[in-house]
Chain A
């Protein structure tokens, strides 16, 4: 099958790649652009490990085709830090030990960042239900929620 040429922007950089029209955005990111931060946990949109933003909307990249990225702007975990400086959200996840094996962490960070941009002052219940689509098998979620609430508080105070 002929490959399709896709022009897109990833974490603010204009990029182009060739991909099979049946290929998912997740595979395009991982295999064509070598951005392996998004992970395949299930391939059916149920675990959130592949979360990215597409024009600021939170999506499971395993449910989006690579060709759909044409003309859009993609945000991945690799774009959360500014150069060497970790984003406050990333720092809080380290501080609260809100990760163990770490494979769900990229998806959870992308999803959380999308939440805080929409809603800088979420309740704990809102956080719990917003992140219900991001499975974590290690932590039991407690420290994740604490890290998110703490980040939101800090960001509000800073702004």
Chain B
């Protein structure tokens, strides 16, 4: 058995010895040029005059290109809406690329680009959500999902509350910045090494920019130093820039953003404002709810429509809402184009409903967990309840949220600790503790249905060694190892006999981005299909040669058994080769059962849901707002986990990244629209010292995914990020304990010490 095993990451030995090669580590030919972008200094307006004389004459500079110099399309958009690589004269945010400067070294290129003299005509910039609402700056008309009659049920309900929460964005801060290297070939073709989650799209955009067919462009990526969604569309710019410069100069071209450029140029997680209006009864059961989601998309469409959709699709989280209306406003602003980030809108949608639940519980003076339990989706397998539906009319047939939370409640000693914290808070004047348990129900599948496909290529060589390739990219999530485990399992071979190779558009074409947590689900299945084809050929060969039925041939314990007699895998492969049996196959997989109408808000956008829950305990200093996470308990659903070590890593990392987003990671734009927090000196992701003092992480053990996913596992990339919401809700709980519970502690995110202190003052002074 190779699956269900905690094997290390496929490149772990390379990582610890410093020899794992990332894009920036690939040795470059001597004549390589190094590129940087010249960036816009205004948030909105147009270019009146561009004088690049000093740039061109600076030391080491060999070429400067502008939009007009691009042979094909000036476009790097991942959506049908255009998004120019280089400004076409209009400018839409501070940091928008205007020209590309190529020099003999990275340092010289950077120095030269600063010498540009550009005259601008400024226009009024729209920076904030409030400004965009006022200016009616919309990307598309508002989208509405509706179920039942929320307006009436809210009107007729026992209690009614409303409120607003503002949710900040998040910088990906992959430790490896964006990077690409283009190598032109003798026949005009080009190879691009690119740190990207979406090699096929990079290939497509490069081909369009060069006016060449896609078969002239090859994109390769062996590994990334983190992606988190930030290299799904944002990597296109570097791939295309390197390609057009290499095409122009005939030389290899490399580009890597330094950290400040990376943060200033690339998009981030979407900021949201969510307004809610909720009706409920005395037990805290929600009877009707209306959400308005205002989404700051930045200057271009990018992936914003799908992200805003996913936020709507997660406004129920794990709660059954009988009557619900969700309206989504997609706002255009003069800021970076907000983009994919782990969770893809889901986290913001969930925060809306979690705030509502905390608001209701504080209003009713109940523990928030009892209110949550009132509203959870039923577990259909336990009792023959009527199947409940989401606000987008999909039946929830696989809910395990109730048993999962029950298990976590008991393993974390929730009830006892709740009382202890109450006592502790009564005895301590300045320090206060808070506790919260929040659930996660996350829909798995790309909501753009056609993306749910994957291809693979499996070779068995004549010596019995196996090499696999698929469309998924490795960004640290352990995808390559999990997929290798699939091949090892299928052929019943030791994992050491499987080689994993770089993702390469020349091997597996037309791939989807490694995104939406789909990596293992899709690529694991595609590899399985390819392995099955080869096994079938082997069985048919053995059947004919030795007069055996298919059922008499087994792949077991590293060998092949024919009617119980053991043959080495190697010897059978050698025989098959000598008998001219094809030992190479492609595999293809398309997720079944999904059907979705995004404009009507009806259908089954997801194949299944992944569940989880976390309990966080925090402490705050009411005099300073300073705070710490004291303890975290997690129970998470990975179905039947293919690799528990890798999955637990994803869960812990996801939690910390989610908690960081909601507490310390603050993005600040000044009035001009300039991002002021563009380096780790001012933008604080969690550090080692912030790790929760006690961190219990467990997988939920059960029979696994109800759907026929790869070995009944579940996707685990994005869902754990939303476990971090429990940290925000625990802070909210701690703040509420300062007052007399008659005022809701509505905490905007990120909940920095300043915001916490402000909310505490509101509680104390009764503002």
A residues at B contact (CB < 8 Å): 20, 22-23, 27, 30, 34-44, 46-47, 49, 76-78, 80-81, 86, 90, 93-95, 97, 99-106, 109, 127-129, 131-145
Contact = CB atoms under 8 A, between A and B. Distances in A.
Interface stretch (B16-24, B49-57, B298-306, B412-420): B16-24
A37 B656 contact: no
B27 interface: yes
A135 B680 contact: yes
A100 B173 CA distance: 15
Given A42-B680, A47-B680, A141-B656, A105 B174 contact: no
A44 B259 contact: yes
B11 A102 contact: yes
B469 interface: no
B649 A136 contact: no
B687 interface: yes
A79 B689 CA distance: 27
A78 B20 CA distance: 11
B563 interface: no
Interface in B162-202: 172-177
Interface string B647-672: 01110111111000000000000000
B99 interface: no
B15 interface: yes
B18 A78 contact: yes
B656 A94 contact: no
Contact of A97 (B6, B226, B477, B690): B6
B224 interface: yes
Contact of A44 (B17, B27, B681): B681
Interface in B1-52: 6, 8-9, 11-22, 24-25, 27
Contacts of A47: 175, 680
Nearest to A47: B680
Given A101-B224, A103-B225, A139 B649 contact: yes
Given A93-B12, A109-B18, A141-B691, 20 more contacts: A30-B25, A36-B18, A37-B19, A40-B258, A41-B680, A44-B680, A78-B17, A78-B19, A86-B17, A94-B16, A97-B8, A97-B12, A100-B650, A102-B20, A103-B175, A104-B225, A109-B16, A139-B656, A140-B654, A141-B686
Q: Is the interface of A mostly helix, strand, loop or mixed?
A: loop
The residue among A40, A97, A140 with the most chain B CB atoms within 10 A of its own CB is A140
A124 B176 CA distance: 28
B17 A139 contact: no
A86 B645 CA distance: 21
B16 A101 contact: no
A50 to B, nearest CB: 11
Nearest to A42: B259
The residue among A35, A78, A103, A139 with the most chain B CB atoms within 10 A of its own CB is A103
Nearest to A89: B16
Nearest to A87: B16
Given A39-B22, A44-B259, A100-B653, A81 B17 contact: yes
The residue among A37, A103, A138, A145 with the most chain B CB atoms within 10 A of its own CB is A138
Interface in B669-710: 679-681, 685-691, 695, 697
B646 interface: yes
Given A34-B27, A94-B16, A99-B9, A132 B22 contact: no
B228 interface: yes
A13 to B, nearest CB: 15
Nearest to B695: A142
Contact of B175 (A20, A27, A81, A101): A101
